Amino acid sequence: MYRDIALERSVGLGIDVSDLSKTLGDSLAGLGARIPYERNSEIFGEDEPADYVYVVLSGAVRTYNILTDGRRHIEAFHLAGDMFGLETGADHRMAAEAVVKSNVLVVKRSALFSQLGRDPELGAELWHQTARNHERARAHMLVLGRKTAQERLVAFLLEMSERLASKTSLDLPMSRQDIADYLGLTIETVSRMLTQLERDGLIGLPTCRHVELRDRSALRSLNS
């Protein structure tokens, strides 16, 4: 498998698997441009041609859909090292915006494609990124399909603490509304559940964007 290449290589070099994503940014750095985006600025819109592929260098990006009546659903948050915007079809199926001031590597799809012939490892990294995004999506479907509001918040906090690589202290880049639209809840429910987790002593909320995971094992047991 593609993954096996990547795994062997990274084990061989003593690199942690989580660093693979950085490798993708490195492999592509020469092919594209680093573009800064302001908070809440659009990176691409739904139904626009998907001629470019994106890698987050710093900051955070949300990809989302909006239904005809205005309901919004955030499909994913993309953090440093994550690839987004790659489609099988000609157009984007989602829109993308910077959650906070972010730097994004923008690579022409055709350039990435032609590079595939020259760099044999690139194909593996590309597949690995796609597969990892899919795995996150699968885990998230379980959250959306079968978990309660409290469990969703716990799952979200644990996911973010892993991905932001912070042991107990989390600086969330996104607003309550973003969290709600990611978890399939309303902003009020998100707020209430966080308050409740704080009252129960599982987390601390010194400021609204800063979360401290006080009892990780209790949180994990709430995560089913």
Partner DNA sequence: CGCAGGCTTGAGGTTCCTCAACGAGCGTGG
Partner DNA sequence: CCACGCTCGTTGAGGAACCTCAAGCCTGCG
The footprint of DNA (CB under 7 A) covers 148-150, 175-177, 184-192, 194-195, 205, 207-209
Considering the complex, state which of residue 95 and residue 185 has its C-beta at the smaller distance from DNA.
Answer: 185
Distance from the Cα of residue 133 to its chain's centroid: 8
Other C-beta atoms within 10 Å of 22: how many? 14
Q: Which residues contact 69 (CB under 8 A, 6 or more apart)?
A: none
CB distance 63 to 76 below 8 Å:
yes
- DSSP H/E element including 206: strand 203-207
CB of 47 to DNA, least distance (A): 26
How many degrees, rounded to 5, is the angle at CA 129 between CA 46 and CA 88?
Answer: 40
CB of 210 to DNA, least distance (A): 9
Q: Which two tokens stand for residue 118?
A: 């020259």
Q: Please tell me whether residue 112 binds a second copy under the rule CB under 8 A.
A: yes
CB of 171 to a second copy, least distance (A): 25
**Quick one: which of 93, 209, 210, 220 contacts a second copy (CB under 8 A)?**
93
Q: How far apart are CA 23 and CA 104, in angstroms?
A: 15
Span interacting with a second copy, options 34-42, 87-95, 199-207, 208-216, rule CB under 8 A: 87-95
Considering the complex, state which of residue 8 and residue 188 has its C-beta at the smaller distance from DNA.
Answer: 188
Q: How far apart are CA 153 and CA 143, in angstroms?
A: 10
Q: Determine the longest span between alpha carbons in the chain, in angstroms.
A: 56
Q: How far apart are CA 114 and CA 104, in angstroms?
A: 21
**Quick one: which of 127, 149, 196, 215 contacts a second copy (CB under 8 A)?**
127
Q: Please tell me whether residue 118 binds a second copy under the rule CB under 8 A.
A: no
Site string for a second copy, 136-175 (x = CB under 8 A): -xxxxxx-xxxx----------------------------
Instruction: Work out what residue 130 binds among DNA, a second copy, none; the CB cut-off runs from 5 to 8 Å by kind.
Output: a second copy
Single-letter code of the amino acid located at 132: R
Residues lying near a second copy in the complex (CB under 8 A): 1-5, 65, 67-69, 71-73, 75, 86-89, 93-94, 109-110, 112-113, 116, 123, 126-128, 130-135, 137-142, 144-147, 181-184, 224
